[in-house]
Structure 1
Amino acid sequence: MKGTLKKTALQLVTEFSVPMIISIAWTSYVLWGKELTVQSIGANFGGAFFFVSWMSGQFFRVRKQASVEESFGSVEKRLNHLIDELETKSQHMIGYITGGDSHLYFLPLQSVGNKIQWLACHSGEYPLHQVTVRIVDLEILLGYYKPEDQQGFDVRHDLGEIHYGANFALGENAIGDRQRLSFNIFTYARNGKFLQEVRFEKVAGVLLKALRITRSGGEVVREEIDLNFPLNAEGKVVWDRYETQWE
């Protein structure tokens, strides 16, 4: 209580000291050399004190309003910063839960014995969840190539959780005596479906590759084409040499 009264008294002294001094000076100036009466002193001092107090009050009000607006501006900046930070952390949390924009990339490695070995590589910032992969050999599927060992045209892998930065072998496919190979690799995960198209062509005895990864909806997330890989008249890879559909 005493602290509040003390602050109030100091505020009153601060706000009314200047009007008091100016009013006394004005009254002295106006009545200098004249007969002094209570009415003349009261009239001149009261009018001057009221006017100067009103002017100083406006000054203090404007200064306080400017201070409040500055405080509000500071609060607004802090709130905007907190909102941006919260949005960023929410996006990260959603990314960790769903997998975000991460995907699997299958690197084909030609191994001994005319076989292609697949190296699965995690790509992206977040882990992948509930991952299932299906590798389809289109030539075998459509009857353009019949392997001697009667292998099937597709292989399925249930991978489950894939951690950030993971790399691991995922099986192999026979090349045989083919001059061209076409594989579609379907990846299903919590964050959606991805299709990796891999096309091989033998050029001067060297097996060249072109690959493209698209998310369901048509967004291309990766594309790699070896130098000297055969292109069509428009200078593009013929990805749809066989009709491709999401499965």
Structure 2
Amino acid sequence: MSWAHGDGKGSVQLLIGFKDPDRVADEVTIKKMKGRVSMGKGIFRKLAEEFWLPLLCAIGWVVYSGWGKPFSVQDTITHFSGSFFFVSYMTAQYFRVRKQARMEASVTTLTERLEKMIDDFQEKTLWTINHITGGDSYCFAEPQLSRPSYAGIRWDVKNCGVFPLYQVTAKIHDLDRGSTLPNGFLQTRSEEVFLGDIPCEATRFFDWDHFGSETTRNYTITFDSRNGKIIQDVRIKLVDGNRDVAFRLTKDGEMPVVIKEVIPEHFPRDENGHFDWSAPTPKPPTFTGWVSPI
């Protein structure tokens, strides 16, 4: 089908072609025939691969068995069929065992790959969970001992893990100042500080209390975050005119675990070489001096 238009300067032609239905049917038939021929060749090739050896063995056995004897159709068929089916059975077993061995090797490889994928998935899942909760990261407070005794103590809180800590609060108790309530409960001077989120290897700080003229100071700090509680015992002592600090970190739980302990060598110990972490008897709160707001 065609259409043309011309104005003397040029022309436009629109050609629309339609395929002959008989030609389309012939093409489909040819494609089907080619597919059948290709499938037939594949089947023949497979039969030749699996039965060429039984055929040769059967022919060889017939020749060997009938060598020097009168030709007999019955004997020939008997020897040929027996040897052919016997060798076919043995080769079939060989191919079956080989295929099974390949399948077992493939299954073993697949199992190893699946185990590796599962391990990687578990590792990444655990890493994601730890990154959300804080994992096994913990923090501790280190007092700045170089500041003047009349100035407030600056506490540097450091994240010692590979995961960030979230919603960290620190409640510090002054074990040297306190009073016993009528019900027997010991009430110490304390303050709670919200530190927020602490990234990996980052530091937050807060100011609280001061040394004054005291030679020893004893504190307990409880850090509460998304991944649990850490209790830090702090002991500051004046030894040979210099202040130094010992601290112990304990992971709170059903079975408290000490995760870190730092004790200077010149700190006093008992006869067994152990440091005394027991809390001192608190004294009634007294005014110990002015605390700088800066």
* Superposition TM-score, scaled by structure 1 size: 0.89
Q: Which residue of 2 aligns with 1:149?
A: none
Count residues in correspondence: 235
Note closer, same or farther for the CA distance 1:7–1:131 as it changes in structure 2 (3 Å cut): farther
Would you say 1:96 and 2:131 are equivalent positions? yes
Contact 1:111 1:117 in 2 (8 A): no
Using the TM superposition, name which of 20-29 and 161-170 deviates more: 161-170
Q: Which residue of 2 aligns with 1:147?
A: none
Q: Which residue of 2 aligns with 1:33?
A: 68
Provide the C-alpha distance between the structure 1 equivalents of 2:154 and 2:59, rounded to a whole number of angstroms. 100
TM-fit CA distance, 1:215: 0.8
Q: Which residue of 2 aligns with 1:170?
A: 206
Contact 1:201 1:230 in 2 (8 A): no
Quote the RMSD (CA, aligned, Å). 1.9
Moved over 4 A (4+): 1-5
Provide the C-alpha distance between the structure 2 equivalents of 1:105 and 1:70, rounded to a whole number of angstroms. 53
Would you say 1:141 and 2:178 are equivalent positions? yes
Picking from 232, 238, 263, the partner of 1:225 is 263
Q: Which residue of 1 aligns with 2:292?
A: none
Using the TM superposition, name which of 189-198 and 158-167 deviates more: 158-167
Would you say 1:154 and 2:190 are equivalent positions? yes
Consecutive unaligned residues of structure 2, counting only runs of 5 or more, are 1-34, 181-187, 282-294
Q: Which residue of 1 aligns with 2:222?
A: 186
Provide the C-alpha distance between the structure 2 equivalents of 1:16 and 1:224, rounded to a whole number of angstroms. 81
Note closer, same or farther for the CA distance 1:27–1:221 as it changes in structure 2 (3 Å cut): same
Q: Which residue of 2 aligns with 1:131?
A: 168
Would you say 1:22 and 2:60 are equivalent positions? no
Provide the C-alpha distance between the structure 2 equivalents of 1:123 and 1:203, rounded to a whole number of angstroms. 28
Provide the C-alpha distance between the structure 1 equivalents of 2:235 and 2:95, rounded to a whole number of angstroms. 78
Paired AA for residue 8 in structure 1? I
Would you say 1:64 and 2:102 are equivalent positions? no
Provide the C-alpha distance between the structure 2 equivalents of 1:181 and 1:139, rounded to a whole number of angstroms. 7
What do the CA deviations read for 1:3-36 (whole angstroms, capped 9, x no partner)?
Answer: 5544433222111111111111111111112222
Percent identity (aligned): 35
* Superposition TM-score, scaled by structure 2 size: 0.75
Consecutive unaligned residues of structure 1, counting only runs of 5 or more, are 144-151
Picking from 71, 82, 92, the partner of 1:47 is 82
Note closer, same or farther for the CA distance 1:4–1:83 as it changes in structure 2 (3 Å cut): farther
Paired AA for residue 124 in structure 2? K
